[in-house]
Amino acid sequence: MPEPYITMEITNHIFSLEFTVRDYECDIQGVVNNANYQHYLEHARHEYLITKGISFVKLHDDGIDLIVSKVEIDYKYPLRSMDRFIVTVDIQREGNVRLAFIQNIYRIPDNKLVVHGKVTGVVTKRGKPVTPGTLIELLGL
Amino acid sequence: MPEPYITMEITNHIFSLEFTVRDYECDIQGVVNNANYQHYLEHARHEYLITKGISFVKLHDDGIDLIVSKVEIDYKYPLRSMDRFIVTVDIQREGNVRLAFIQNIYRIPDNKLVVHGKVTGVVTKRGKPVTPGTLIELLGL
Amino acid sequence: MPEPYITMEITNHIFSLEFTVRDYECDIQGVVNNANYQHYLEHARHEYLITKGISFVKLHDDGIDLIVSKVEIDYKYPLRSMDRFIVTVDIQREGNVRLAFIQNIYRIPDNKLVVHGKVTGVVTKRGKPVTPGTLIELLGL
Amino acid sequence: MPEPYITMEITNHIFSLEFTVRDYECDIQGVVNNANYQHYLEHARHEYLITKGISFVKLHDDGIDLIVSKVEIDYKYPLRSMDRFIVTVDIQREGNVRLAFIQNIYRIPDNKLVVHGKVTGVVTKRGKPVTPGTLIELLGL
């Protein structure tokens, strides 16, 4: 994953959301299971879209889906039971048909970097990729 | 993700495991939720290790953990309710302290490529990275 | 939960399905997290319906849903990493609009009883409860 | 499930916690998958215990586990994407060795009753049931 997007700054993101680790998300090793970080990233993305007036579910009902085509996650430090953390969201266009969400997870209150993630998506209408025009417009990008 | 490891071949893997999609793994879009593919990949890796006499849980009890440091997943085609699929496992050393699991998911019976994944891990003993010597030996690599 | 339906017999069920515990289903206590047993029960029910030619997802697409109205689960013995087990399914009518699925989970190969469950459901068509006539017929009850 | 514990009141609980539905918790039917309500109930219980100075994970490290022996859940109304809800916790002794958590889920802001639950547990020390004395004391019951 290219380094430039890795910002250690917890500020200056277009969106961030606070979570608390739930014990059922932890596995035998006593840490959050790797797949659950994807859940955290997804939930933060969807909540961000909602602040922009975009409901993931309503889009789907209209035949429009934002499909994840690639996920890259660097695991830097594990979260444990009772940890609080924030998930950040930034977004950038990638070519004509792709959007990339750049997302970090920071433990709070010490701002320890937990996860860097890059989630690349394409917009599809009734299953076919389309330019993410409307979506981009709604996002004000 | 570099292309060389992407083999479209469903044969010639050191391990593969068959699964069936469970409806609770599907989301509102009617397809398997992205994070669940990571669960599939993990379960196939652990089952592979078991065939080599390595129990992930017993290792943990001995203070040894195989920690995932990076996950890269290309989503090629979605799985749906009732789909059957196989998850493959290949493994390669990366430098002195890393192992990379190269994993594909194919829908069956048509061998449609669903997911390419690369999961990089480090071996730790009581929380500190160690050379994956014993593990490598057990794996016969 | 009334005792009569609790049969310790591993045979004589209308359907049973074998599973293996996946490590991500276990929690910090080293045992399968309680909610996951509900997933196992659900998957066995859906696989049973499929053997009867009933796809849960296709039913939903036709406006028909089998809605769970009540779940009662007795946890008898925990499953752990690498355990194999079978989930059984039996079914009985409850009044005019309800079906009850009686389900047990047994560890294999020692047939240790892990979970007794009773899952009561109602059939709805476009959101309204209907008599489960067609479903009952398809199930041959 | 006996009716007395079913209180429609959203107030007057010893603890309550607010959640938002996460899209990955919803299934093909567009509603929260049944097993996830158990996750919500569990997380609220653990957060309640934390307010009493009891960490579920630390208890486990000391050999003490609060084991769920029975779960009864009445599903009254489904939660959907973007719904906010609160989970309540009440607690009562059941005989010498059991505790019962009485828990409701209410959608907000309309206070629609979503789920009634009763979760019965036993306290074990190194795997054997013990009287929940210390726990009861800590809880001030």
C16-48 tens-digit pLDDT: 999 999 999 999 888 999 999 999 999 999 999
Q: Determine whether the interchain pair A24/D30 forms a contact, defined as Cβ–Cβ distance below 8 Å.
A: no
Residues 6+ apart with CB under 8 A from B87: B16, B17, B19, B40, B41, B43, B44, B103, B104, B105
Residue A109 distance to chain B (closest CA, Å): 22
Token reading at C128: 């309204």
Q: Is the CB of residue D28 less than 8 Å away from at least one CB of chain B? A: yes
Interface of B with D in 38-57 (CB under 8 A): none
Q: Which of D47, D55, D81 comes nearest A57 by C-beta?
A: D81
Specify the pLDDT at position C94: 87
- Pairwise pLDDT comparison (A84 vs B126), residue with the higher score: A84
d(CA C99, CA B10): 43
Q: Residue B101's beta-bridge partner residues? A: B91, B119
d(CA B71, CA A40): 15
SS3 A46: helix
Contacting partners of chain A (3+ CB pairs under 8 A) = B, C, D
Contacts (Cβ under 8 Å, ≥6 apart) of B56: A28, B46, B49, B50, B66, C23, C81
Banded pLDDT at A90 (limits 50, 70, 90): very high
Whether pTM exceeds 0.95 = no
Task: Please state, in angstroms and rounded to a whole number, the distance separating the CA atoms of residues D127 and C94.
Answer: 38
Q: Which of B27, B61, B74, B110 is catalytic?
A: B27
- pLDDT at residue B2, rounded to an integer: 38
Compute the distance between CA of residue B68 and CA of residue B11 in angstroms, rounded to an integer. Answer: 26
Q: Does A124 reach chain B within 8 Å, measured CB to CB?
A: no
**Which of the following is catalytic: C27, C61, C62, C90?**
C27
Chain C neighbors of B22, CB-CB under 8 A: 39, 42-43, 46
Phi then psi for D49, rounded to 5 degrees? -60, -40
Minimal Cβ distance to C75: which of D68, D73, D74: D68
Per-residue pLDDT band at A5 (split at 50, 70, 90): very low
Chain D CB contacts of A24 below 8 Å: 39, 42-43
Other C-beta atoms lying within 10 Å of the C-beta of residue A108: 14
pLDDT at B20 over 90: yes
Could you read off the pLDDT of B45-83 as tens digits, one per residue? Answer: 999 999 988 887 788 888 888 899 999 999 999 999 999
Interface size, chain B vs chain D, as Cβ–Cβ contacts under 8 Å: 22
Residues of B in contact with D27 (CB under 8 A): 23-24, 26-28
* pLDDT on residue A141: 66
**Spatial distance between the Cα atoms of D88 and D107, rounded to a whole number of angstroms:** 11
Is this complex scored with an ipTM above 0.85? Answer: yes
Q: Which of A79-93, A111-125, C125-139, D81-95 has the lowest mean pLDDT?
A: C125-139
- Contact check, Cβ <8 Å, C55/B82: yes
Cis check: omega of the bond before D109, within 30 degrees of 0: yes
In chain C, residues with a C-beta closer than 8 Å to the C-beta of B43 are 22-24
In chain D, residues with a C-beta closer than 8 Å to the C-beta of C56 are: 28
* Phi, psi dihedral angles at A7 (to 5 degrees): -105, 135
